């Protein structure tokens, strides 16, 4: 068994309204910052012990499918590193 | 001017309680997943036009200092890529 950290990034799908990101962008603009666009995402860093990086990625993928992401509105991506 | 995306990742400092992450971890365990630890973070992807990658990073850094992160409880990191 090897110790891995699987990072799951959960984003709203293109076209889904994100009022939090819009508010953040407007607040930055009000502070004088110049930006074209701002998107927000949730990031989960999950420490797992697994046989291989592929095994760790597969489990993180299943966690995203079952709990971390809502497939109706979210896309997600999984990245695995040894820790 | 070049088009960059600056990604700002905002994490709670070590030692700051994160009840949301704890609840997520417990829910995953209740679903039968085996994990050692789970940390959550906020990720902002900010599109900016800037003279250089360094300039884009500096502006994203200032956005984090002034609005995106609370220095009392958060650490943050900035990563810049061309878009």
What are A6-64's pLDDT values in tens digits? 999 999 999 999 999 999 999 999 999 999 999 999 999 999 999 999 999 999 999 99
Question: Nearest CA of chain A to the CA of B27: how many Å?
Answer: 8
Residue B8: per-residue pLDDT: 98
Question: Nearest CA of chain A to the CA of B45: how many Å?
Answer: 5
CATH architecture of A2-82: 2-Layer Sandwich (3.30)
Residue-wise burial string across B2-29, b where 16 or more C-beta atoms lie within 10 A, e elsewhere? eebbbbbbbbbeeeeebeebeebbeebe
What are B28-79's pLDDT values in tens digits? 999 999 999 999 999 999 999 999 999 999 999 999 999 999 999 999 999 9
State the first-to-last Cα distance of chain A, in angstroms, to the nearest integer: 12
Q: Interface pTM (ipTM) of the complex?
A: 0.90
Chain A interface disruption, residue of B39, B56, B64, B65, most A CBs within 10 A: B39
Q: Two tokens at B44?
A: 């902002």
Q: For chain A, what are the domain ranges?
A: 2-82
Residue B53: per-residue pLDDT: 97
């Amino acid at each position: 068994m090897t110790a891995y950290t699987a990072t799951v990034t959960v984003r709203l799908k293109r076209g889904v309204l994100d009022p939090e990101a819009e508010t953040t962008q407007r607040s930055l603009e009000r502070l004088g910052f110049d930006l074209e666009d701002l998107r927000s995402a949730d990031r989960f860093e999950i420490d797992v012990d697994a046989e291989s990086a592929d095994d760790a990625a597969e489990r993180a993928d299943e966690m995203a499918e079952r709990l971390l992401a809502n497939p109706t509105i979210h896309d997600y991506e999984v990245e695995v590193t040894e820790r």
